[in-house]
Structure 1
Amino acid sequence: MKRFDFFPTPLPGLTLVQRKPIEDSRGFFSRFFCAEDFGRVGLTRPIAQMNHSLTHLKGSVRGMHFQYPPFAEDKFVSCVRGSIFDVAVDLRKESPTFLHWHGEILSADNQRSLLIPAGFAHGFQTLARDCELLYLHTMPYAHDCEGALHALDPLLEIAWPLPIAEISERDRTHPMLNSQFEGLTL
């Protein structure tokens, strides 16, 4: 029985994942993650950390976060309550889609997730109140390897679907890109 459908996006390696729930009168059951299935689409490193977030205000933006090597990580991002516009930006130095972004609506209802490979920045905007996300990471968080892009960087031109209602002070102060940013070598 097929548990997931995997769909490529315009950014090589970035994959949209559709969970395949089994439904009956009680509700549904779905497999959330399977290393064997995900290995077939490139997630070969084990999951090292799992994080959970709650964002109360509709229109809030979190991100655009990444980790530099040697802690560059694959992420598997899912919205388990509410709805978000999830965005990944390709930061891989040699990639033909360097600094291109792709966004997908992830929600509890559509049961979609993004599999984001190492070398991408990640962020999202809430499209509803009280959105909860689960993130599976292939590397532990390393403060000294933390990196981020500014979510409103004019070089990226991310088309956030709503006016930004809230962004943290930390995310608001991330620097804008300049010609010195050469990307990530993995």
Structure 2
Amino acid sequence: MQIFDTSLRDVKRLRPQKNGDERGWFSEVFNTRTFAAAGLPDRFVQDNQSFSQRGVLRGLHYQLLQPQGKLIRAISGHIWDVAVDLRPNSADFGKWAGFDLHGEDIEFLWIPQGFAHGFVVLSETANVLYKTTDFYYPAGERCVRWNDPTLGIAWPLEGIEEPLISAKDAKGSFLQDAELPASLDLHQTIA
């Protein structure tokens, strides 16, 4: 597995090896030993999957209680995935990065706890799978507005008149008003 650093500390792109022939291909997409050796989490407790149509924008979600690290992959379709560092003691606090994820690429994005996460669907439809390091706890979930001018995220919305957003996400906080995750030990959030 190839692991690539990104412009945000602790956010990683992972590309499993793909072996193929005339029959198709095979790829080992998760192995606890490989992840542990790379300093990544090797224990995930929940898998989530979403199906969305073009123009759906989900996020920017994060958790105050039971924070979740997320391992994200587009199973089919094309999404533009965003991570925003909300860790108050991070040098990258308030910075964001966007990543193209395509179903045919078998590429993952690792986003540690303490980050907000969201994505927009750029293909006709997309299936997104993500593994989490802790269980979903609705009372601990928070949302920062996808269009917060302080963040200035350059969402690639060409050809999308208006993104489709849930009522809950439309009520998200602006970063300046958001409840932030407690100070985290940054060395613990990598693993």
RMSD: 1.6
Where in structure 2 are there 5+ consecutive unaligned residues? 185-191
Once the two structures are superposed, what CA deviation does each residue of 1:71-128 show, in whole Å capped at 9, x if it has no partner? 1111100000001001100011111100100111001122211001111010001110
What TM-score, normalized to structure 2?
A: 0.89
The aligned residue for residue 48 of structure 1 is: 45
Once the two structures are aligned, what percentage of the paired residues are identical?
A: 35
Question: 1:133 pairs with 110, 128, 131, which one?
Answer: 128
| Aligned partners of 1:93 and 1:183 also within 8 Å | yes
The aligned residue for residue 16 of structure 1 is: 13
| Aligned partners of 1:65 and 1:121 also within 8 Å | yes
* Runs of 4+ displaced beyond 6 Å: none
The aligned residue for residue 142 of structure 2 is: 147
| Aligned partners of 2:46 and 2:133 also within 8 Å | yes
SS at match of 1:166: coil
The within-5 A match list for 1:59-138 is 59-69=55-65, 71-138=66-133
The aligned residue for residue 159 of structure 1 is: 154
CA distance in 1, matches of 2:178, 2:104: 41
CA distance in 1, matches of 2:131, 2:155: 24
Aligned length: 181
CA distance in 2, matches of 1:170, 1:138: 23
| Aligned partners of 2:69 and 2:133 also within 8 Å | yes
CA distance in 1, matches of 2:61, 2:156: 19
Question: 1:32 pairs with 24, 29, 33, which one?
Answer: 29
Where in structure 1 are there 5+ consecutive unaligned residues? none
| Paired AA for residue 51 in structure 2 | L
| Aligned partners of 1:43 and 1:74 also within 8 Å | no
| Paired AA for residue 13 in structure 2 | L
The aligned residue for residue 172 of structure 1 is: 170
CA distance in 1, matches of 2:179, 2:136: 22
CA distance in 2, matches of 1:41, 1:79: 22
CA distance in 1, matches of 2:80, 2:178: 29
CA distance in 2, matches of 1:153, 1:41: 34
Change (3 A) 1:104 1:159: same
